[in-house]
Amino acid sequence: MEVPIPIAAEASQSDSLQSFKRLSSKAYLYTPFGMHESDSGPLSNPDTNAPHLIFLVSWMNASPRHISKYTSHYQILYPSTPILLVTSSASDFFPFSIQHRLATLVPAISAIRAYTDERQVSRNGLLVHAMSNGGGGQLALISKQYLTETGQPLPANTIIYDSLPGTARFKQGLATFSLGLPATWYLRMPMQLMFSILLLFCYILPQILGQKISALVIFNSIRPEFIRKEAKRCYIYSDGDEVVLDRDVEEHAREAERNGLSVEMVKFDGTSHVGHMRSDPARYWGIVKRSWEGRA
């Protein structure tokens, strides 16, 4: 049963992400007032039911104004919890950028290690919230690198998958890369043409040749060996999403269930890609809160 929660007034847009410290071009950290970075650690949060760290991974090319709608609500739900934000852009998902991507994500991995204890998972440890394939791709890379560095899967207690994962299709791929492009046709069309050519050479041809591509890596990488298998996984998706199809999300969730993972699927009616919170914020944040309270 979904229990809506009241939505308090949002933080002003002038505050948006200004309270976040820039760790790299892709990683930002919000530390609540009165908590210093030196206080980080599994026992530093005075709220006994709050996460020690919220790890929010935004969708491709998301603007600070849109991201702040999520960070401000998290600051309302869990005011004493630090928030680690990782962003993504279209250039992150082409083969030549992998080493550069990893370099920009190293500070995020360090922050996760600082606020969680990889030796002993706490029930109030890590809440992960990933959005779209852009967020899923960054999460997959961070999880793999975390495993390489620590020998342990990412110590998540709850994972919110908003509008992901989708699989590799040209139409959906172009829709993904078109997110955030200018609405003016004479600016938008040349950029879409450029992305179409890039998709052809970096995604479509490699599939024909039997090579692994980024979208399939995302689809296959959110697995127990990379992310703690006991974590509760909540998929929020819609039958109106033209970027990530509902059948792809359901296929991934059912496979997770077959692998013995704790899964919840919440389907919105007619909402657009990463538009579920905007459509019904009370319901959306009620789902997030309930998922965290039902964590492992």
200 within some domain: no
State pLDDT tens for residues 36-73: 555 555 445 567 799 999 999 999 889 999 999 999 99
189 within some domain: no
Q: Which residue has the higher pLDDT, 183 or 108?
A: 108
Mean per-residue pLDDT, 242-259: 91
202 within some domain: no
Write the CATH number for 257: 3.40.50.1820
Distance, in Å, from the CA atom of 196 to the CA atom of 183, rounded to the nearest integer, reads 17
How confident is the model at residue 185, as a pLDDT?
81
1 within some domain: no
Average pLDDT, the chain: 83
State pLDDT tens for residues 160-199: 999 998 876 666 667 666 766 777 888 888 887 887 777 6
How confident is the model at residue 177, as a pLDDT?
67
Lowest pLDDT segment from 185-194, 256-265, 277-286: 185-194
194 within some domain: no
Beta strand pairing call for 27-30 and 83-88: antiparallel
58 within some domain: yes
Mean per-residue pLDDT, 2-26: 66
136 within some domain: yes
pLDDT of 244 over the 80 cut: yes
How confident is the model at residue 13, as a pLDDT?
39
Q: Are 166 and 249 in contact (CB under 8 A)?
A: yes
Taking the CA atoms of the chain, what radius of gyration do you get in angstroms?
Answer: 18
Distance, in Å, from the CA atom of 45 to the CA atom of 285, rounded to the nearest integer, reads 21
Nearest CA to 162 out of 78, 261, 54, 272 is that of 272
Domain that holds residue 56: 20-169+213-293
Q: Which residue has the higher pLDDT, 15 or 170?
A: 170
How confident is the model at residue 3, as a pLDDT?
46
108 within some domain: yes
Give, rounded to a whole angstrom, the gap between the first and last alpha carbons of the chain: 19
How confident is the model at residue 8, as a pLDDT?
46
Distance, in Å, from the CA atom of 277 to the CA atom of 127, rounded to the nearest integer, reads 17
Cis peptide before 165 (omega within 30 of 0): yes
Distance, in Å, from the CA atom of 82 to the CA atom of 51, rounded to the nearest integer, reads 9
Give the number of domains in the chain.
1
The enclosing H or E element of 175 equals helix 170-178
